[in-house]
Amino acid sequence: MKGLPGFRDFYPEPIPTADSWSMDLRRYIFDTWRGTAERYGFREYDGPPIEELGLYTKKSGDEIVGQLYNFNDKGDRGVSLRPEMTPTLARMAASHSRNYKKPIKWFSIPQLFRYERQQKGRLREHFQLNADIIGEENQAADAELIALLIDTLRDLKLTNDDFVVRLSSRLAWQDFFENSDGQEKDAYDFYQIIDKLDREDPAVSGEKLAEIGFSIDQVNDFIESGQATDELAAIIGNIEARGLGNFIEIDYRIIRGLAYYTGPVYEAFDKRGKFRAIAGGGRYDHLVKLVSGGKTDLPALGFGMGDVVLAELLKEHDLVPALGQTLDAFVQIADESLRDASLCLVQQLRQAGLTTEYPLLKAKQEKQFKRALELKAKWLVTLDNANQVHVKNLGTRKELTVPLIEVASALQD
Ligand code: HAM
């Protein structure tokens, strides 16, 4: 049987085929995400992978609602696998915000599910780094998140030749919409058309805009003007002060598909324009209030960075580090009468924190040696007798004999 379309199997290295997904690469990405977020003072949280359907239909927007993996559970509750993390975070923050000092800086690495048409960079399941700040309305918080986004990609060895953060503003678009006599009822459709301008045939976008009273030229003129609002100028100033100014530019083509954004919004793209967005986010100051039924009102903002486009990008730029198993020690059992004593040695090494392997069953010595090399063991360890161990460094070929009780510390040195 095969897995479902759009769902991945992750294999340990060496991966079976060139297009298999690597569990080691996934761990490398997650470790980097976690490391950078923690360096920025963010704390990790998690929530359930299934939520009440209403959490998403409330404010995520039609596009995501059309992609939900939803069903009725055995208690006849309408539920859905999570398509994004933000509504869960808003729900969690609303329930216990009093227990945490503001601003709350949290991150998570959820697996998300969207019933999307499968295409390059888009699957039906993906992981996202989500980093969000709750309880701060100043643009310093928007800049802090954008800096984190940039540094996360830099920690993966991407440079400003490889990617750029395109910054825009829902408020600027809202002013444009209102000053051009847009009707409130058309606002969501308008944002959707702008969000798809890059991907849609210009004639189709033009027709859709005309239906709600806008011309494509008028929209293009606004995009090309590229004027920074005060809010965006403050963010850019803050990013420049960190020496990261060359990673960011104003681009009003960005508006974000999700319905809940209220202020500055941004997406990160590869500079060659070959891939879909690497990350996207912005401010969503009304979501916590909406999700809590008006009980808690807190400004909030954040971004999501997906693992699918990121892995493709790292491969394209040759930035995947050497991956795969490495062992500290391979305990060879040359004499089966010493198997029990060797097991005791294996245990001793593992307890000392050394990654250690050994043959589960009787095997020829050459086979054991070959296995030690395949597993990239640093040391080949063999019991000579009940008290004495022979160790060989498989890299330098250096050999030594040590008393059994000293072997772990000898290998650590
Ligand atoms: P999003 O733009 O829908 O935002 O997703 C963020 C990133 O996740 C995208 O830029 C992309 O890299 C990745 N992504 C999204 N859908 C897929 C898919 N089907 N397959 C592979 N990768 C995908 C959000 O989800 C917001 N909730 C982010 C956010 C957090 N905003 C504020 N806080």
Over the stretch 48-99, which tens digit does the pLDDT of each residue have?
Answer: 999 999 999 877 767 777 899 999 999 999 999 999 999 999 999 999 999 9
Contacts of 386 (CB under 8 A, 6+ apart): 338, 341, 404
Confidence of residue 293 (pLDDT cuts 50, 70, 90): very high
Is the C-beta atom of 128 inside 6 A of ligand 1?
A: yes
Question: Residue 303, class by beta-carbon neighbours within 10 Å (0-12 exposed, 13-18 middle, 19+ buried)?
Answer: buried
Between the CA of 280 and the centroid of ligand 1 the distance, in Å, is 6
Structure tokens at 36: 């950078």
Is the C-beta atom of 194 inside 6 A of ligand 1?
A: no
Between the CA of 260 and the centroid of ligand 1 the distance, in Å, is 14
Question: pLDDT per residue over 309-335, tens digit each?
Answer: 999 999 999 999 999 888 999 999 999
Q: Average pLDDT in the 393-398 region?
A: 94
**Confidence at residue 5, expressed as pLDDT on a 0 to 100 scale:** 93
Residue nearest to atom 20 of ligand 1 (CA): 122
Confidence of residue 412 (pLDDT cuts 50, 70, 90): confident
Q: What is the DSSP string of 244-282?
A: -GGGEEE-TT---SSTT--SEEEEEEETT--SS-SEEEE
Closest ligand 1 atom, CA of 310? 12
CB 253 within 8 A of CB 199: no
CB 285 within 8 A of CB 262: yes
Question: Is residue 413's pLDDT more than 90?
Answer: no
Across the chain, mean pLDDT equals: 94
Residue nearest to atom 21 of ligand 1 (CA): 122
Question: pLDDT per residue over 332-384, tens digit each?
Answer: 999 999 999 999 999 999 999 999 999 999 999 999 999 999 999 999 999 99
**Confidence at residue 225, expressed as pLDDT on a 0 to 100 scale:** 87
**402 sits in which H/E element:** strand 399-403
Is the C-beta atom of 109 inside 6 A of ligand 1?
A: no
Between the CA of 11 and the centroid of ligand 1 the distance, in Å, is 24
**Confidence at residue 20, expressed as pLDDT on a 0 to 100 scale:** 96
Confidence of residue 257 (pLDDT cuts 50, 70, 90): confident
Residue nearest to atom 9 of ligand 1 (CA): 279
Question: pLDDT per residue over 7-43, tens digit each?
Answer: 999 999 999 999 999 999 999 999 999 999 999 999 9
**Confidence at residue 118, expressed as pLDDT on a 0 to 100 scale:** 84
Decide: helix, strand or coil at residue 48.
Answer: coil
Question: pLDDT per residue over 170-210, tens digit each?
Answer: 999 999 999 988 898 998 889 889 988 888 899 999 999 99
Is the C-beta atom of 122 inside 6 A of ligand 1?
A: yes
Q: Are strands 300-306 and 264-270 parallel, antiparallel or unpaired?
A: unpaired
Question: pLDDT per residue over 205-233, tens digit each?
Answer: 999 999 999 999 999 999 998 889 999 99
Higher pLDDT residue, 178 or 283? 283
Residues 189 and 42: their CA atoms lie apart, in Å, by 35
Q: How far is CA 138 from CA 72, 182, 218, 302, in A?
A: 41, 28, 31, 13
Residue nearest to atom 28 of ligand 1 (CA): 304
Residue nearest to atom 2 of ligand 1 (CA): 280
Between the CA of 68 and the centroid of ligand 1 the distance, in Å, is 14
Instruction: Read off the pTM.
Output: 0.94
**44 sits in which H/E element:** strand 43-44
Residue nearest to atom 24 of ligand 1 (CA): 304
Q: Give, for ligand 1, the residue of 85, 123, 128, 313 to mutate: max count of ligand atoms closer than 8 Å to Cβ.
A: 128
Evaluated on CA atoms 342, 345, 351, 355, the torsion sign reads: negative
Residues 235 and 139: their CA atoms lie apart, in Å, by 6
Helix runs in 180-265, H state only: 187-195, 202-211, 216-225, 230-241
Question: pLDDT per residue over 109-145, tens digit each?
Answer: 999 999 988 888 899 999 999 999 999 999 999 999 9
Count the Cβ atoms, other than its own, within 10 Å of residue 49. 13
CB 163 within 8 A of CB 276: no
**Confidence at residue 221, expressed as pLDDT on a 0 to 100 scale:** 92
- Residue 183 C-beta-side C-alpha neighbours within 13 Å: 8
Between the CA of 130 and the centroid of ligand 1 the distance, in Å, is 9
Residues 241 and 27: their CA atoms lie apart, in Å, by 32
- Residue 303 C-beta-side C-alpha neighbours within 13 Å: 29
Residues 310 and 270: their CA atoms lie apart, in Å, by 9
Is the C-beta atom of 231 inside 6 A of ligand 1?
A: no
Between the CA of 384 and the centroid of ligand 1 the distance, in Å, is 57
Residue nearest to atom 18 of ligand 1 (CA): 122
Q: Average pLDDT in the 137-165 region?
A: 98
Question: Is residue 390's pLDDT more than 90?
Answer: yes
Structure tokens at 392: 């060989």
User: Tokens 């599910």 belong to which residue?
Assistant: 113
Residues 408 and 379: their CA atoms lie apart, in Å, by 11
Residues 360 and 350: their CA atoms lie apart, in Å, by 15
